[in-house]
Amino acid sequence: MRRSRLISTQRKRKGSAPLKEYLRKCTTLMLTHHLHKRVLVYVVGLFVLSFGIVIAVNSGLGISPMTSFPIILSEILGTRTGTTLTVVFLCFILGQKILYGKEFRWYNISQIVFSFLFGFFVDFAEWVLRDFTLPTYFGQLFLLFVSIVVIAFGLSIYMDAKLVNLPAEGFVSAISDKIGIPFSKGKVMMDCIFVAIGICLSLLFIGGIWNIREGTVLSAIFVGKSIPFASKITRPLFIKFNLLPPAEGTEST
């Protein structure tokens, strides 16, 4: 009996050793690469981005191509935008796992946590902004311009953190890798596919094209062009407050 207990104890110790080693490595990684600060920056970026998306929806002139499908799906199902985005993002993560197989990297699992967090932020932004809009077409254009700026700032902040891609970008990256095309071409291809899906769903279930308009095209053109400008403002600010070390501005892990 004593011998069996001793063997059982030794097995437990051996089983816990890899876990302790893994936790030790994670702690070391967080301290040496400032991950705790980078996660904070990443979350701030998601928070800003969520408000940009809701402002774009409230403008009534169209939403960005990549979010068109989940937001239109939310309108059809009558569910919260953030909840629908989370579910779609989880499908994107599953798609990455299927495409990459054993090459799927463990840290991409963190996309699940950030998906739920981002969905919560979008629902919170909707609660804050509600149905706020501006009268006249010029008012809508102004809101659209604000949304493009806010989205650009949100993207620049989360990109400066240099953690994981959002699930949508991760899915595009996986498809691009498997097809053997540059990410930029894969992004354009998937944008077109999601817009096409959004249009079809709108026509079938809403009776017309909903929230895919000139703003969708303008967002696709100007958000990417605005990110470098936004990054010139946000990156030095985070470095100044010691949330990103100076080296993070030029190096990636």
CA distance 178 to 176: 6
Mean pLDDT over 40-66 rounds to 93
- Contact predicate 161/87, CB 8 Å: no
CA distance 178 to 180: 5
Whether residue 112 is predicted with pLDDT greater than 70 in this model: the reply is: yes
pLDDT at 126: 95
Q: 35-39, 88-92, 163-167, 241-245: which has the minimum mean pLDDT? A: 241-245
**Burial class of 213 by CB neighbour count within 10 A (0 to 12, 13 to 18, 19+):** middle
Neighbours of 123 (CB within 10 A): 18
Which tens digits make up the pLDDT trace of 177-193? 989 988 888 888 888 99
Whether residue 93 is predicted with pLDDT greater than 90 in this model: the reply is: yes
pTM of this structure: 0.81
CA distance 37 to 161: 8
